[in-house]
Amino acid sequence: MNEALLLQLELDQFNAAYAAALDERRFDAWPDFFLPEGRYTLQARENFDRKLPLALIDLESQGMMKDRVYGITNTIYHAPYYTRHVLSPAQLLGQEGKRIRAQAHYAVFRTKPGDASEVYNVGRYIDELERTPAGLKLASRRCVYDSEMVLNSLIYPI
C-alpha cells in the first residue's frame, strides 16, 4: 500500500484514539499521547493569525499535563458534563525525518446530564508528531479555536 495512505490512516487512528480517551474521560491517558517534552496549546484564532503568543492554555511538558489532569480529576468542582469530539481526516502538511506536520479540524460538543447538547469548541489541531517505538507521539498540539467567546467552563482538554 502507498506510504502516504498508510500515514494518513495512522494519523486518523491516532486522532480517533485521542478523542476517545477524552470523550471516555480517561484523562490519565491524555499526557501519554505526547512526548515527555510535548507541548499543548489552546489559542484563539485571532492571536494565532496575528502571530501573538497569548494562549488560553499553554502546557510545556507531560508533567504540566499531568498537573492539569490532577486538577481536573481531584480539585476542580464543576457541574458534570460529557464531551464528544467530531474530527475531520488529518491533512498531512509535511514530513522531515521522524517529524510529521499535520492538521485536522475538530468540533467538540458538550452535554450536561438532563440538558441539550451544545457546541463546546470548534477549530483545528495543528500538530507536530514524532515516530517512537510506542507509535506516534505529539511533540506539539496547537488547538486553534475559532470562537471569540469561550465557555467559562473550559476544563477538559480539547
In a domain, 68, yes or no: yes
The number of folded domains in the chain is 1
Residue-number span of the structural domain to which 19 is assigned: 3-145
Closest to 115 (Cα-Cα) out of 77, 66, 81? 81
Q: Which residues contact 96 (CB under 8 A, 6 or more apart)?
A: none
Cα–Cα distance measured from residue 135 to residue 126, given in angstroms and rounded to the nearest whole number: 19
In a domain, 113, yes or no: yes
pLDDT at 1: 59
Q: Mean pLDDT for each 10-residue chunk of the chain (158 residues)?
A: 89 98 97 98 96 95 96 84 96 94 97 92 97 96 90 82
pTM of the shown model: 0.94
CA 120 → CA 2, 117, 155, distances in Å? 37, 9, 11
CATH of the domain at 13: 3.10.450.50
In a domain, 153, yes or no: no
Q: By the 8 A CB rule, do 65 and 34 touch?
A: yes
Q: By the 8 A CB rule, do 138 and 16 touch?
A: no
